[in-house]
């Protein structure tokens, strides 16, 4: 008896999606657990796997919009007397995944990198913690597009050549990002203020304590935990930024859930570190590592990406020296981090070389005044330049 392949529910607000690519062909033998098809929605990208072994029958081609619960294929039992397909070795499984990836890349090349986007990883000379990195480029766009938007995957419909141009249909996720970016520009009074910080103290502390920290807690000490802690301190000092507009009302948040972007092979996700004010550096680093692992394995859930009160973006991973991040509605602020670069600065009447980073805060001027925005950014700067403030909660 055949088993129908139905589109599963992937979130309360999601009613449809796009079948971006079938990983198996019609008539292929499949094993339980094999990835069959990728479903793209305006929030997440997810793979539908085989529930049992058999022969795949494709009923709906790739590139088709489908509804939740719709039957898109079936798994028929193998012919009587036919030998079951042998279990795949680890190398074969790896090869299959590589082939599938190459196929998806051939079907639709990735979109060009956007100039501004959230992410969180430090430049190469500053950090090698790839797990904790938040790739910017698309990240600020994703964060700005309400980071309940998850994996940025461009596996939609095969492009159609029209002579001197090529036309392709945007994925549901990319369409949602576009809508959110335009909405952010039209509904908020976005303004950006800038400052810079000397990374010397954090880099020295991290280098001197890395071995002991890793041995004690089982995770590396990255730069992101410092910026999350500094952000929490600044949000406490300037409560208006930890709030949002709701019609004609202002809603003040009394919790500190900070969104941080994490890069994956398939794209960008921006999970939320819950109650960051109550967590230690080690707990934050564990959360970042866990999210990075879940993102690489495609196990990020929608609830992991929702509810943030503030977003952190880092364009420095791609070498961005300065940018103006876009707000992540309905949040009132987003912090932009950038490349760490040695620069000459004046210190006590002397010219010295220091590892400097430009910081940018984009904020909603409807609820945040310029003085408050500058105060917020100065607090972040002070915490990074004197990390003892974070340990003493100053």
DSSP letters for 203-251: HHHHHHHHHHHHHHHSS---SHHHHHHHHHHHHHH-GGGSEEEETTEEE
Q: In a 3-state reduction of DSSP, which class is residue 69?
A: coil
SS3 366: coil
CB-neighbour burial class of residue 72 (10 A; exposed 0-12, middle 13-18, buried 19+): buried
Cis peptide before 280 (omega within 30 of 0): no
Nearest to 325 by CA among 363, 371, 269: 363
The candidate with the shortest Cα–Cα distance to 150, out of 298, 270, 288, is 270
Find the radius of gyration of the CA atoms of the chain. 23
Q: For residues 356-381, b (16+ Cβ closer than 10 Å) or e, as one string?
A: bbbbbbbbbeebbeeebbeebbbbbb
Active site residue 23: no
Spatial separation of the C-alpha atoms in residues 61 and 233, rounded to whole Å: 51
Name the pairing type of β-strands 258-260 and 310-314: parallel
Instruction: Kindly state the DSSP code that residue 389 receives in the 8-state scheme.
Output: H
Task: Please work out, in degrees rounded to the nearest 5, the angle formed at the alpha carbon of residue 289 by the alpha carbons of 283 and 294.
Answer: 125
Question: Catalytic residue at 365?
Answer: yes
- Smallest CA-to-CA distance from 233 within 90, 376, 120 is with 376
* 8 Å CB contact between 146 and 329: yes
Residues 244, 330 contacting (CB under 8 angstroms): yes
Q: How far is CA 338 from the centre of its chain?
A: 17
Q: Which of 99, 275, 369, 393 is catalytic?
A: 369
Determine contact, residues 140/323, Cβ cutoff 8 Å. Answer: yes
- The catalytic residue positions are 365, 369
């Amino acid at each position: 008896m055949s088993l129908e392949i139905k589109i599963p529910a992937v979130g309360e607000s999601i009613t449809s999606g796009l079948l971006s690519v079938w990983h198996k062909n019609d008539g292929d033998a499949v094993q339980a657990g094999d990835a069959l098809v990728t479903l793209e929605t305006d929030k997440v990208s997810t793979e539908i796997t085989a529930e049992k072994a058999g022969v795949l029958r494709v009923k709906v081609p790739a590139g088709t919009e489908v509804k939740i619960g719709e039957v898109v294929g079936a798994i028929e039992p193998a012919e009587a007397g036919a030998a079951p397909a042998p279990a795949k070795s680890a190398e074969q499984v790896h090869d299959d995944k590589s082939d599938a990836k190459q196929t998806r890349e051939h079907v639709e090349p990735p979109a060009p990198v956007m100039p501004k986007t959230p992410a969180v990883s430090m430049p190469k000379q500053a950090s090698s913690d790839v797990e904790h990195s938040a790739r910017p480029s698309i990240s600020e766009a994703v964060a700005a597009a309400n980071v309940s938007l998850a994996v940025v995957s461009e596996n939609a419909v095969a492009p159609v050549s029209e002579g001197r141009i090529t036309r392709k249909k945007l994925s549901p996720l990319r369409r949602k990002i576009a809508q959110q970016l335009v909405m952010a520009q039209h509904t908020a009074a976005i303004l950006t203020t800038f400052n810079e910080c000397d990374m010397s103290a954090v880099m020295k502390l991290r280098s001197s304590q890395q071995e002991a920290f890793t041995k004690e807690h089982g995770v590396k000490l990255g730069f992101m935990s410092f910026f999350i802690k500094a952000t929490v301190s600044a949000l406490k000092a300037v409560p208006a930024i930890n709030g949002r507009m709701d019609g004609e009302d202002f809603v003040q948040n009394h919790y500190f859930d900070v969104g941080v972007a994490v890069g994956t092979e398939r794209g960008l996700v921006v999970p939320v570190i819950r109650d960051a004010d109550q967590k230690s550096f080690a707990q934050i680093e564990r959360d970042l590592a866990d999210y990075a692992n879940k993102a690489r394995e495609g196990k990020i859930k929608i609830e992991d990406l929702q509810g943030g009160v503030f977003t952190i973006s880092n364009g420095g991973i791609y070498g961005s020296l300065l940018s103006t991040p876009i707000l992540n509605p309905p949040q009132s602020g987003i912090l932009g981090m950038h490349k760490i670069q040695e620069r000459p600065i004046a210190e006590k009447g002397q010219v010295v070389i220091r590892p400097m980073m430009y910081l940018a805060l984009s904020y909603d001027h409807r609820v945040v005044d310029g003085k408050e925005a500058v105060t917020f950014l100065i607090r972040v700067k002070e915490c990074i330049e004197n990390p003892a403030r974070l340990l003493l909660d100053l």
